[in-house]
């Protein structure tokens, strides 16, 4: 459990710098240089992510159960995950989806976390998915209150939207049909 908590603190600590200390972040990035700052940020994020994933895997089977969801919650979770894949892809494929939703990765993260909280009630699950949900909501609220940063990447296109939708549905189907069971160890359909 300590590894999971350390991973959550490291991952969300780094990702919360813009939320809590944007001026400090800007000063450090200017002093170190943008590339150096991005490198440090990326390494710290990856280390935190590795710790939270490995900590989750190590504790999920033995964690105390806080609640058991009704069976129908699985259906809601399956429905919530369909747009999550498309939104996550739209966050890196500029188009109308990204422009309309504004922060599609945050919305995808909220849907993903909520879907998993509906179906998983152990202490480990609530720590992992609850932290992702709370952080995503807090960041979404804060984005309305801070100055925007210039968008990076290519100009949007309808082709990017089509790619996000088609690839999102393909990933969704792959996860339903066994990728989730193979990668995460938990089947979505069936047992």
For each of the chain's 191 residues, which pLDDT tens digit applies?
Answer: 889 999 999 999 988 887 788 888 888 888 998 899 899 999 999 999 999 989 998 998 899 999 999 999 999 999 999 999 999 999 998 888 988 888 899 999 999 999 999 999 999 999 999 999 999 999 888 887 766 655 555 466 788 899 999 999 999 999 989 888 888 778 887 65
Same domain, 49 and 91: no
Same domain, 65 and 9: no
Cα–Cα distance, 113 to 117 (Å, whole number): 6
Tell me what pLDDT residue 189 has. 73
Name the burial class of residue 161, with classes exposed (0-12), middle (13-18) and buried (19+) by CB atoms within 10 angstroms of its CB. buried
Tell me what pLDDT residue 68 has. 94
Tell me what pLDDT residue 108 has. 96
SS3 of residue 93 by DSSP: coil
Q: Give Cβ neighbours of residue 90 (< 8 Å, ≥ 6 apart).
A: 97, 98, 101, 104, 160, 161, 164, 168
Tell me what pLDDT residue 5 has. 93
Same domain, 189 and 114: yes
Same domain, 20 and 75: no
Same domain, 157 and 170: yes
Tell me what pLDDT residue 98 has. 87
Please write down the HEC assignment for all residues of 137-188: HHHHHHHCCCCCCCCCCCCCCHHHHHHHHHHHHHHHHHHHHHHHHHHHCCCC
Count of CB atoms within 10 A of residue 180's CB?
16
Tell me what pLDDT residue 142 has. 83
Tell me what pLDDT residue 157 has. 79
Cα–Cα distance, 124 to 137 (Å, whole number): 20
Which of 59, 88, 108 terminates a domain? The answer is 59
Same domain, 106 and 42: no
Q: Which domain holds residue 41?
A: 1-59
Tell me what pLDDT residue 18 has. 78
Which of 19, 34, 59 terminates a domain? The answer is 59
Number of domains in the chain: 2
Same domain, 2 and 88: no
């Amino acid at each position: 459990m300590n590894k999971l908590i350390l991973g959550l603190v490291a991952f969300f600590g780094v990702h919360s710098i813009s939320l809590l200390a944007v001026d400090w972040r800007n000063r450090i990035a200017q002093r170190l240089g943008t590339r150096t700052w991005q490198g440090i940020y990326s390494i710290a994020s990856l280390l935190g992510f590795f710790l939270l994933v490995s900590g989750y895997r190590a504790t999920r089977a033995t964690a105390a159960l806080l609640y058991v969801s009704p069976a129908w919650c699985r259906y809601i979770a399956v429905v919530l995950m369909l747009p999550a894949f498309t939104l996550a892809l739209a966050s890196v494929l500029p188009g109308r989806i990204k422009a309309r939703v504004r922060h599609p990765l945050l919305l995808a993260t909220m849907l993903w976390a909520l879907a998993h909280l509906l179906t998983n009630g152990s202490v480990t699950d609530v720590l992992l998915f609850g932290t992702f949900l709370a952080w995503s909501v807090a960041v979404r609220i804060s984005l309305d209150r801070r100055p925007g940063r210039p968008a990076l990447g290519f100009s949007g296109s309808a082709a990017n939207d089509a790619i996000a939708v088609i690839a999102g549905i393909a990933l969704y189907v792959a996860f339903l049909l066994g990728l989730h069971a193979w990668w995460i160890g938990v089947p979505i359909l069936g047992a």
